A and B are shown apart, each in its own frame.
Chain A
Amino acid sequence: MLFKSNFVLEIINNSIMKRALIALVVSLIVLASAALWFFKMEKSVTTPELLTFGIIIVLVGFGLYFAYIRFTGARRDEPPEDELSKKMLQKTAAWSYYISLYMWVFMIWLKDRVTLDTEQVLGAGILSMAVIFFLCWVVIRFRGLRNE
């Protein structure tokens, strides 16, 4: 009980841990909403719906991983951000923005050829943007930031 209260106090007094907790809560809410949508579907599950659910799971996993990194870093008294993490985030944002522009052009091209609702196009576009961001982050992390 004492351990639990100390743990709660640690979170309350540490702003980085608070942010990690917010990321954790948001990820869990997204996961719960997706699960509710998926399991309450009346008709049988189609492949695009299964794919959408799979992508959401991957992105939630990414969010949880971020929260975990922040949380363990805060417990080790590490700074929440340093020059590498800032540069990595900037580079990821720049790359994903650039690639997303082409993705939206492709979506517009696709919309003229395939019958899709506006909601479907927007949903797929937003989800694709998140996937592009995730992939850019993974590539930059493996490639490193030499000669930047």
Chain B
Amino acid sequence: MNNRIREFRARHDMTQDDLAKKVNVRRETIVFLEKNKYNPSLKLAHDIARVFGVAIEDIFLFDN
């Protein structure tokens, strides 16, 4: 699974710290997500998508 968190964050002019605070996780978790070193839970994926106002599948790209 890949994601476009970095792209959406840049579009919303948001730092990793800002996003981490909005979804109530540590900044390290956002770093891991952006490096594709961690697949988030459904709840965290939903929270991140809600922050950017898009659907989960717009941010998280599932492999075939």
Contact = CB atoms under 8 A, between A and B. Distances in A.
Given A73-B26, A79-B26, A144 B32 contact: yes
A78 interface: yes
Nearest to B28: A84
A82 B23 CA distance: 10
B38 A145 contact: yes
Report whether over half of chain A's contact residues are helix, strand or loop; otherwise say mixed.
loop
Interface string B25-46: 1111100100111111100100
Contacts of B37: 143-146
Contacts of A84: 25-26, 28-29, 32, 38
B39 A148 contact: yes
Interface residues of A, number: 15
B24 to A, nearest CB: 6
A85 interface: yes
Contacts of A44: none
B59 to A, nearest CB: 17
Interface string A122-148: 000000000000000000000111111
Interface of B: 1, 17, 20-21, 24-29, 32, 35-41, 44
Interface of A: 73, 76-79, 82-85, 143-148
Listed from nearest, the 8 A-B pairs whose CB atoms lie closest are A144-B37, A82-B25, A84-B29, A78-B26, A145-B38, A82-B26, A83-B41, A82-B29
18 contacts: A76-B17, A78-B20, A79-B24, A79-B25, A82-B25, A82-B29, A83-B40, A84-B25, A84-B28, A84-B29, A85-B28, A144-B35, A145-B37, A145-B38, A145-B39, A146-B36, A146-B37, A148-B39
